[in-house]
C-alpha cells in the first residue's frame, strides 16, 4: 500500500496509531531521519541485497509489517515496489511519501 499526501497532515501519526492496535510486529523506518538506512538501501544492487539487509540487520520475520516513511528520500526504494508483492508475500509493505 502506498499512502501519499501533503506534509504534516497526519499520515505517519495515523498509520502508527492503527498499526499499534493490530498487535502485529512492525518495522517503521523514517528515511528522512534515518539517513544511514537510506544510504544502505540506495547502496543495494538488487532486491535480493535489499531483502538481506532488512531481514539480517533489522530482523524482519514472516508476518512483519514493513513501513517506509518519507520514501521519496530514497532513489532505490521505488525500484523495489514490484518485488515487494512478488518476493515478500509473507510481509505487508506500507510506503508513505509526500506528494
Could you give the CA distance from residue 44 to residue 1 in angstroms, rounded to a whole number? Answer: 22
Asked whether 26 and 67 are in contact (CB, 8 A), the reply is yes
Return the CATH class of domain 2-98.
alpha beta
Q: What is the CA radius of gyration of the chain?
A: 13
Per-residue pLDDT of the chain (99 residues; tens, 9 = 90+): 677 777 788 888 888 888 888 888 889 999 999 999 999 999 999 999 999 999 899 888 878 888 888 888 999 998 888 888 788 777 777 776 655
Residue 84 to residues 23, 51, 77, 79, Cα–Cα distance (Å)? 22, 9, 10, 10
Amino acid at each position: 500500500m502506498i499512502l501519499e499526501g501533503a506534509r504534516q497532515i497526519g499520515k505517519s501519526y495515523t498509520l502508527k496509531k492503527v498499526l499499534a492496535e493490530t498487535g502485529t510486529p512492525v518495522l517503521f523506518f523514517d528515511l528522512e531521519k534515518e539517513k544511514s538506512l537510506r544510504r544502505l538501501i540506495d547502496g543495494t544492487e538488487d532486491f535480493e541485497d535489499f531483502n538481506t539487509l532488512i531481514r539480517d540487520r533489522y530482523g524482519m520475520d514472516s508476518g512483519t509489517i514493513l513501513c517506509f516513511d518519507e520514501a521519496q528520500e530514497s532513489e532505490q526504494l521505488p525500484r523495489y515496489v514490484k518485488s515487494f508483492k512478488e518476493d515478500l508475500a509473507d510481509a505487508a509493505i506500507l510506503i508513505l511519501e509526500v506528494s
